[in-house]
């Protein structure tokens, strides 16, 4: 039955009848629990972790394929009639249910919903899990896990996976927070280190001048905790400044290949000057528009289409579409694509020639 529904949703007739929306969005409206191709999940429990961070335990429907510790999902929630999608790491699993832990941002739409307005029983949509911030197949002798703020979410997932694997090597968790009250999962991480002496937690209270470890990331912190960057697999997730500093340090030490990083925010994109007014044809929808200096995602939305998207910054690949002709520029790197068929992330692509996109 569900295969038949999937088949019907993909038919050209369904696309025409439901334009400018998607067949999935109509099905969601009529039967929210059955849904389209994405995973529907009910918020089963909400737990405040800190003043600014809440964990949502999600009960997904049968479409959920599970995840590998360290991966994330794109979570979509409807607020005031508009759908908003953001990426969140699966920080833990409780009774088989994935948990996302969300720290609020000033004026942040989804993060403030999760901290202030979510109700147990709310329905959200999540993508299948994705991402490469995962443990290697062969575990090395040492791990150095560096996190800042909400960047602790995938670090907690990796920590729990190492505990579950009875990992006997050394694990150092270097966690940057303004003050101890801002440390998410502090009690959990302390419990891990108490029961597993090979796991050590080093809390850096960046704004606490009386703290032994204070200020932003520096080589002195690595020295103070006895880190061995040449002998450890290192992971970092957190604010852009922390990631840049750590990446620079590992690059200078010739150890960049030992560092795995996860960005929650995109690197600042250079201004694009050669994209003025290029025609874009979205072939599945039969829509042609121009994209004056805008990404293809913005051009599609401006034309009334509702493409899948998540991070909107070239990280999650949720918005990937097939380009069948034309050339685009990646706004993060300035690099030009080829002129033929290829998959592109439309949220970070601007056309520099006329392009056709399967959307």
Ligand X SMILES: Cc1cc2nc3c(=O)[nH]c(=O)nc-3n(C[C@H](O)[C@H](O)[C@H](O)COP(=O)(O)OP(=O)(O)OC[C@H]3O[C@@H](n4cnc5c(N)ncnc54)[C@H](O)[C@@H]3O)c2cc1C
Residue numbers of the site for ligand X (CB under 6 A)? 72, 86-89, 101-103, 105, 107-112, 150, 153, 264-265, 311, 315-316
> Two tokens at 183?
């440390």
Using the minimum distance from each CB to ligand X, give the nearer residue, 50 or 153.
153
Q: Is 206 in the site for ligand FES (CB under 6 A)?
A: no
Residue 231 near residue 141 (C-beta atoms within 8 A): yes
Report whether 18 contacts 28 (CB < 8 A): no
Segment contacting ligand FES by CB under 6 A, of 4-12, 21-29, 219-227, 315-323: 315-323
State the nearest-atom distance from the C-beta of 319 to ligand X, in Å.
12
Of 7, 126, 125, the C-alpha closest to 66 is 126
| DSSP for 126-147, written as a single string | EPPPB-S-S--SS--SEEEEEE
Q: Rounded to the nearest 5°, which phi and psi values hold at 61?
A: -80, -175
Stretch that binds ligand FES, among 53-61, 119-127, 216-224, 317-325 (CB under 6 A): 317-325
Q: Decide: is 314 part of the binding site for ligand FES (CB under 6 A).
A: yes
In 16-141 the beta strands, taken as DSSP E runs, fall at: 39-50, 53-60, 72-79, 82-94, 97-103, 123-126
Name the residue whose CB lies closest to ligand X: 108
The one among 200, 317, 322, 332 contacting ligand FES by CB under 6 A: 317
Span of 16-24, 148-156, 272-280, 304-312 interacting with ligand FES by CB under 6 A: 304-312
Task: Count Cα atoms within 13 angstroms, Cβ side, for 44.
Answer: 15
The answer to whether residue 311 forms part of the interface with ligand FES (CB under 6 A) is yes
Please tell me whether residue 343 adopts helix, strand or coil conformation.
strand
CB-neighbour burial class of residue 172 (10 A; exposed 0-12, middle 13-18, buried 19+): buried
Q: Does residue 310 belong to the site contacting ligand FES (CB under 6 A)? A: yes
In the complex, minimum distance from the CB of residue 37 to ligand FES, in angstroms, rounded to a whole number: 16
Q: Is 251 within 8 Å of 261 (Cβ atoms)?
A: no
Binds ligand FES by CB under 6 A, chosen from 54, 102, 227, 345: 345
Out of ligand X, ligand FES, none, what residue 188 binds, judged by CB under 5 to 8 A for its kind, is none
Among ligand FES, ligand X, none, residue 98 binds (CB under 5-8 Å by kind): none
Q: What residue ranges bind ligand FES (CB under 6 A)?
A: 309-312, 314-319, 345, 347
């Amino acid at each position: 039955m569900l295969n038949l529904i999937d088949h019907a949703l993909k038919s050209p007739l369904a696309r025409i009848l439901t334009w400018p929306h998607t067949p999935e969005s109509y099905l969601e409206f009529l039967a929210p629990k059955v849904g389209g191709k994405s995973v529907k999940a009910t918020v089963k429990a909400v737990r405040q972790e800190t003043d600014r961070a809440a964990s949502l335990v999600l009960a997904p429907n049968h479409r959920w394929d599970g995840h590998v510790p360290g991966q994330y999902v794109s979570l979509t929630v409807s607020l005031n009639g508009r759908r908003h999608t953001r990426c969140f790491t699966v920080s833990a699993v409780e009774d088989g249910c994935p948990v996302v832990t969300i720290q609020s941002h000033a004026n942040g739409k989804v993060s403030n919903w999760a901290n202030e307005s979510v109700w147990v029983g709310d329905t959200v949509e999540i993508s299948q899990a994705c991402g490469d911030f995962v443990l290697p197949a062969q575990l090395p002798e040492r791990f150095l896990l560096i996190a800042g703020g909400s960047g602790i979410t995938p670090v907690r997932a990796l920590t729990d996976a190492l505990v579950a694997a009875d990992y006997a090597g050394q694990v150092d968790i270097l966690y940057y927070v303004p003050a101890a009250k801002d440390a998410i999962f502090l009690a959990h991480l302390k419990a891990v280190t108490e029961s597993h002496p090979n796991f050590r937690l080093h809390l850096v209270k960046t704004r606490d001048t009386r703290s032994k470890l204070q200020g932003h990331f520096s080589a002195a912190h690595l020295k103070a905790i006895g880190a061995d960057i040449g002998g450890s697999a290192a992971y970092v997730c957190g604010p852009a400044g922390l990631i840049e500093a750590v990446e620079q340090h590992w690059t200078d030490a010739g150890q960049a290949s030992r560092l795995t990083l996860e960005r929650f925010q995109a690197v600042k994109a250079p201004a694009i000057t050669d994209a003025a007014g290029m025609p874009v044809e979205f072939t599945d929808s039969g829509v042609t528009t121009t994209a004056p200096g805008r990404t293809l995602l913005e051009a599609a939305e401006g034309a009334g289409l509702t493409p899948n998207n998540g991070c909107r910054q070239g990280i999650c690949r949720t918005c990937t579409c097939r380009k069948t002709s034309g050339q685009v520029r990646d706004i993060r790197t300035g690099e030009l694509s080829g002129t033929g068929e290829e998959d592109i992330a439309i949220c970070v692509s601007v056309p520099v020639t006329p392009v056709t996109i399967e959307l």
